[in-house]
Amino acid sequence: MGKLIKLAKSGKPYALRLAVERLIPARGARDRAVAFELPGVAVAADLATAAAAVIGHAASGDITLSEAREFMALLEAQRKVMETTDLVVRLEALEAGAGLPAVTVRDEYDPEVKARVRRLLSADPRLAPPEGR
């Protein structure tokens, strides 16, 4: 390292480059900014389309396999958030239908989530709230 530093100080371009690479690590492929067209994900069904797009970009070489895995992990996290939100809203609706005291986690839920849960609950007569509620 001492010799490398001495050569870098004397102006040798290869030594300067090597010294700088050791001092300031180059951004790896994992950290590069990736820009490609990814379909929007508004509902859980959109996740399959987005996942197919990620796989397609990896297959065509637009992104690396490790980048594709990271995007898939992001999509999985988004799926979990959507699933949890749906479950909380459904649970609150079921508890309200059973006359149980409401435990509100958040004052406002996404209106689309509320509408989707209402449709799911109304589709199954066992889950419909009793008359007058």
Q: What is the pLDDT of residue 28?
A: 54
Q: What is the pLDDT of residue 31?
A: 65
Q: CA distances (Å), 21 to each of 1, 12, 28, 58, in order?
A: 13, 14, 12, 29
Q: What is d(CA 91, CA 43) in angstroms, rounded to the nearest whole number?
A: 19
Angle CA 7–12–14, to nearest 5: 100
Q: What is the pLDDT of residue 101?
A: 61
Per DSSP, the chain holds a count of helices (H) and strands (E) of 5, 0
pLDDT per position as a tens digit, 34-60: 888 888 888 888 999 999 999 999 999
pLDDT lower than 70: segments of the chain: 25-31, 100-109, 121, 124-133
Which token pair is 22? 């050791």
pTM of the model: 0.54
In this structure, is the dihedral angle defined by the CA atoms of residues 93, 94, 98 and 102, taken in order, positive or negative? negative
Q: What is the pLDDT of residue 29?
A: 44
Which token pair is 8? 């870098």
